[in-house]
C-alpha cells in the first residue's frame, strides 16, 4: 500500500517538483490535523444519535466529512501562506500532507496485522494502493487549486471549491465504513473526481497564463 504512493513521490522528486521545506510543512499539517480534527468530530458526533437510521448515517457522514474537508484545506491554505504561494510550494505541501497520510494509514494497517486485529488480502493491497495514490494526487491537486485561487484573486472561491469536493470524498468514505456504500464503486468515483479536478486546474492555469501573456504583450 505504501509502495505505490512512494513511487509517485520518487517520480516528483526526480522531476524536481517537490522541495524539502514545503514537503515537511505539508507533513506537519497532517500532525496538526490529527490533533484538531478528531476532537471536533467527536464533539459534533455527540449530538447525532440513532446511527441505525439511513438518514442519520447520511447526516453523520456529511458532517464528519465536512469537518475533515474544510479543516484540512484551511490548514493547507495556512501552510501556503506561511511558505509562499508558488506552484512548487503547492505541490510540495500537498504531497507532504498526502504522503504522510499514506504512511500513517500503512502503519496503522501493519500494527493491526501484527496484533492480529485484522487480516490483509491481495484485494486489500490493490484497493489500498489505489486509494492512497488517489488521495495523494487529490491533496496535491487541491493545494494547487488553492494556489490558483490566490494568484487569481479568488482565494475564497478556491477554498470553498476544494473544501466542498473534499467533503464529498470524505463523506463517502465515512458512509463506506458505515456500510452504506460499496468500496469498489467509490474508488472509481474518487479517481474520477481527482481527474476532473486536475483537468479543471490545468484549464484555469492555462487561461491565467494566456491572459497574463496578453497583458504583457499589449
pLDDT in tens, 83-120: 999 999 999 999 999 999 999 988 888 888 787 777 77
pLDDT at 143 over 50: yes
Please give the Cα distance from 10 to 7 (Å, whole number).
Answer: 5
196 CB contacts (<8 Å, ≥6 apart)? none
24-52 burial, b at 16+ Cβ within 10 Å, e below that, comes to ebbbbbbeebeeebeeebeeeeeeeeeee
Which residue, chain included where needed, has cell 458526533?
A: 45
Could you tell me the pLDDT band of residue 218, with boundaries at 50, 70 and 90? low
Give the pLDDT confidence of 44-90 residue by residue, as tens digits: 888 887 767 788 888 888 999 999 999 999 999 999 999 999 999 99
**Residue 215's pLDDT band (cuts 50, 70, 90):** low
Cβ neighbours around 123 below 10 Å, total: 10
pLDDT at 34 over 90: yes
Amino acid at each position: 500500500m505504501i509502495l505505490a504512493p512512494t513511487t509517485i513521490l520518487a517520480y516528483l522528486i526526480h522531476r524536481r517538483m517537490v522541495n524539502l521545506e514545503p514537503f515537511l510543512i505539508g507533513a506537519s499539517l497532517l500532525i496538526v490535523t490529527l490533533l484538531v480534527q478528531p476532537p471536533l468530530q467527536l464533539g459534533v458526533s455527540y449530538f447525532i444519535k440513532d446511527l441505525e437510521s439511513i438518514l442519520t448515517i447520511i447526516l453523520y457522514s456529511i458532517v464528519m466529512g465536512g469537518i475533515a474537508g474544510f479543516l484540512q484545506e484551511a490548514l493547507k491554505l495556512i501552510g501556503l501562506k506561511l511558505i509562499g504561494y508558488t506552484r512548487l510550494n503547492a505541490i510540495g505541501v500537498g504531497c507532504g500532507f498526502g504522503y504522510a497520510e499514506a504512511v500513517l494509514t500503512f502503519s496503522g494497517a501493519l500494527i493491526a496485522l501484527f496484533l492480529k486485529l485484522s487480516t490483509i488480502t491481495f484485494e486489500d493491497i490493490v484497493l489500498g494502493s489505489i486509494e492512497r495514490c488517489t488521495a495523494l494526487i487529490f491533496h496535491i491537486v487541491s493545494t494547487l487549486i488553492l494556489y490558483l485561487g490566490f494568484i487569481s484573486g479568488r482565494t475564497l472561491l478556491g477554498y470553498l471549491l476544494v473544501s466542498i469536493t473534499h467533503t464529498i470524498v470524505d463523506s463517502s468514505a465515512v458512509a463506506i465504513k458505515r456500510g452504506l456504500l460499496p468500496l469498489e464503486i467509490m474508488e472509481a468515483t474518487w479517481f474520477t473526481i481527482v481527474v476532473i479536478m486536475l483537468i479543471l486546474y490545468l484549464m484555469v492555469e492555462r487561461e491565467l497564463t494566456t491572459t497574463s501573456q496578453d497583458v504583457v504583450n499589449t
